[in-house]
Amino acid sequence: MSAADPGQLPNMPTDTSPDYKPPVVVPVPENDPLITRDHRKSIGDVRELPTVDAPVSKRTAAAGPTTTAGLPTPRMSADEQNDKERQKAAAAALRKASYDSNTNKLPTTVRGPSGEFFHGEAVRQILHPAAPSTTSLHHQFKNPQDLIIVPTCFVFIFVNPNSGPRQGASLLDLDIYGFRLRSQPEVQVMIVNLMDVDDRNKGLRYFQAMQETDRIDIQRLHVWSAGGDGTFMWVLEELMGIKADLHDPRLSFSTIPFGTGNDLSQVMGWGRSIVGDPAGDHMHRLDKIIQSRLNGQKARLDIWEIEVETNEGGFVQKAAKPKSPSAHKQTHLLRKMSNYSSLGVQGFVGVGFEPKRHHSRMMNVLEYARQSTLLVLRGIPHVNTYAENLEWKGQQIVTNDRLAKMTRPESNRDVKAKEKGKTRKHRQRQAVEVVVQNIPGMWGRHVDMWGEARMAPSVVLQPEGPTDCKNWTPNMANDGKLEVFAISSAFSYLRKQLGKWGRKTLSRIGQFPDELRINLIHGAETALMVDGEFYKLSNCKSITWKLLIQVTVMGPDMEHSRMVRDSKEFFDAQKAAASPGAGASRVAADSSAGAVPVTTDLGLGDNGISQAKKNEAEISVTSL
Give the DSSP per-residue string, 210-232. Answer: HHH--SS---EEEEEEEE-HHHH
> pLDDT tens for residues 204-220?
999 999 999 888 889 99
Per-residue pLDDT, 138: 41
Instruction: Give CA–CA dist 572/558, Å, rounded.
Output: 14
Residue 384 contacts residue 526 (beta carbons within 8 Å): no
> Which of 85-99, 107-121, 124-138 is modeled with the greatest confidence?
85-99
On whether residue 620 sits in a domain, the answer given is no
Per-residue pLDDT, 244: 96
One domain, residues 344 and 375 = yes
pLDDT at 143 over 90: no
Per the structure, the complete domain to which residue 374 belongs is given by 304-551
Identify the CATH number of the domain in which residue 493 sits: 2.60.200
One domain, residues 107 and 238 = no
Please compute the mean of the pLDDT values over residues 1-9 and round it to a whole number.
41
One domain, residues 374 and 430 = yes
pLDDT at 154 over 90: yes
**Range in 153-157, 215-219, 411-415, 488-492 with the lowest mean pLDDT:** 411-415
463 versus 422: the higher-pLDDT residue is: 463
- Picking from 221, 77, 210, 227, the residue whose alpha carbon sits closest to that of residue 163 is 227
Instruction: Give CA–CA dist 566/475, Å, rounded.
Output: 9
Could you give the percent of the chain with pLDDT greater than 70? 64
pLDDT at 518 over 90: yes
pLDDT class of 35 with cuts at 50, 70, 90: very low
> pLDDT tens for residues 250-285?
999 999 998 878 899 999 999 988 888 888 777 888
**Range in 90-94, 228-232, 344-348, 493-497 with the lowest mean pLDDT:** 90-94
Please compute the mean of the pLDDT values over residues 552-562 and round it to a whole number.
91
On whether residue 39 sits in a domain, the answer given is yes
616 versus 586: the higher-pLDDT residue is: 586
Identify the CATH number of the domain in which residue 291 sits: 3.40.50
- Half-sphere exposure (Cβ direction) of 249: Cα atoms closer than 13 Å: 17
Per-residue pLDDT, 476: 92
On whether residue 615 sits in a domain, the answer given is no
One domain, residues 5 and 38 = yes
Per-residue pLDDT, 275: 83
Residues 6+ apart with CB under 8 A from 448: 440, 441, 442, 475
Residues 6+ apart with CB under 8 A from 224: 155, 156, 157, 158, 253, 254, 255, 256, 293
307 versus 2: the higher-pLDDT residue is: 307
Please name the helix (run of DSSP H) or strand (run of DSSP E) that holds residue 286, with its range, or none: helix 284-294
Please compute the mean of the pLDDT values over residues 512-525 and round it to a whole number.
94
Give the DSSP per-residue string, 133-192. Answer: --GGGGGT-SSGGGG-----EEEEEEE-TTSTTTTHHHHHTT--SEEE-SS-TTEEEEEE
Q: How does 476-513 read in b/e, with b if 16+ C-beta sit within 10 Å?
A: bbbbbbbbbbbbbbbebbebbbeeeeebebbbbbbbbb
On whether residue 413 sits in a domain, the answer given is yes
pLDDT at 499 over 80: no
Please name the helix (run of DSSP H) or strand (run of DSSP E) that holds residue 289, with its range, or none: helix 284-294
One domain, residues 314 and 285 = no
* Model confidence pTM above 0.85: no
On whether residue 601 sits in a domain, the answer given is no
The domain boundary, picked from 241, 270, 295, lies at: 295
Residues 6+ apart with CB under 8 A from 359: 165, 166
Q: Mean of the per-residue pLDDT values for the chain?
A: 73
Per-residue pLDDT, 200: 95
On whether residue 592 sits in a domain, the answer given is no
pLDDT class of 316 with cuts at 50, 70, 90: very high
Neighbours of 395 (CB within 10 A): 10
pLDDT at 604 over 80: no
Per-residue pLDDT, 105: 43
- Picking from 572, 110, 530, the residue whose alpha carbon sits closest to that of residue 340 is 530
Cα 26 to Cα 37, 89, 96, 148, 245, distances in angstroms: 19, 22, 15, 19, 25
One domain, residues 235 and 290 = yes
Instruction: Give CA–CA dist 538/544, Å, rounded.
Output: 16
Per-residue pLDDT, 57: 39
The domain boundary, picked from 102, 117, 149, lies at: 149
**Range in 323-327, 375-379, 605-609 with the lowest mean pLDDT:** 605-609
330 versus 40: the higher-pLDDT residue is: 330
pLDDT at 29 over 80: no
> pLDDT tens for residues 391-441?
998 889 888 877 776 655 555 565 566 666 666 555 557 788 999 999 998
The domain boundary, picked from 149, 180, 201, lies at: 149
pLDDT class of 56 with cuts at 50, 70, 90: very low
One domain, residues 100 and 118 = yes
Instruction: Give CA–CA dist 180/118, Å, rounded.
Output: 17
One domain, residues 393 and 288 = no
Domain count for the chain:
3
Cα 123 to Cα 106, 109, 179, 598, distances in angstroms: 9, 8, 14, 40
On whether residue 590 sits in a domain, the answer given is no
Please compute the mean of the pLDDT values over residues 490-507 and round it to a whole number.
70
Residue 396 contacts residue 421 (beta carbons within 8 Å): no
- Half-sphere exposure (Cβ direction) of 613: Cα atoms closer than 13 Å: 8
pLDDT at 79 over 80: no
pLDDT class of 182 with cuts at 50, 70, 90: confident
pLDDT at 61 over 80: no
One domain, residues 248 and 317 = no
One domain, residues 178 and 247 = yes
Per-residue pLDDT, 394: 86
Residue 547 contacts residue 508 (beta carbons within 8 Å): no
Q: What is the DSSP letter of 326?
A: G
137 versus 299: the higher-pLDDT residue is: 299
Please compute the mean of the pLDDT values over residues 321-345 and round it to a whole number.
88
Q: What is the DSSP letter of 362?
A: H
Per-residue pLDDT, 602: 45
Residues 6+ apart with CB under 8 A from 54: 62, 105, 106
Question: Nearest-5° angle of CA 436, CA 442, CA 448?
Answer: 90
Please compute the mean of the pLDDT values over residues 337-351 and round it to a whole number.
92
Residue 480 contacts residue 513 (beta carbons within 8 Å): yes
615 versus 371: the higher-pLDDT residue is: 371
- Centroid of chain to Cα 585: 36
On whether residue 586 sits in a domain, the answer given is no
Per-residue pLDDT, 488: 78
Q: What is the DSSP letter of 276?
A: S
Instruction: Give CA–CA dist 274/293, Å, rounded.
Output: 14
pLDDT class of 297 with cuts at 50, 70, 90: very high
119 versus 507: the higher-pLDDT residue is: 507
Instruction: Give CA–CA dist 375/344, Å, rounded.
Output: 11
Per-residue pLDDT, 580: 64
One domain, residues 273 and 323 = no
pLDDT class of 7 with cuts at 50, 70, 90: very low
Per-residue pLDDT, 317: 93
Per-residue pLDDT, 181: 83
pLDDT at 583 over 80: no
- Picking from 349, 364, 260, 388, the residue whose alpha carbon sits closest to that of residue 529 is 349
pLDDT at 21 over 50: no
Instruction: Give CA–CA dist 428/492, Å, rounded.
Output: 13
- Which long-range contacts link 42-46 to residues 24+ away (Cβ below 8 Å)? 42/125, 42/128, 42/129, 42/179, 42/180, 42/181, 42/182, 43/179, 43/180, 43/181, 43/182, 43/282, 43/283, 43/287, 44/129, 44/130, 44/180, 44/182, 45/129, 46/125, 46/129
- Picking from 90, 96, 100, the residue whose alpha carbon sits closest to that of residue 126 is 90
Q: Report CA torsion sign: 430, 432, 434, 440.
A: negative
pLDDT at 589 over 80: no
Neighbours of 419 (CB within 10 A): 8
Residue 591 contacts residue 624 (beta carbons within 8 Å): no
Instruction: Give CA–CA dist 145/118, Å, rounded.
Output: 11
- Picking from 574, 390, 612, the residue whose alpha carbon sits closest to that of residue 479 is 574
One domain, residues 140 and 155 = no
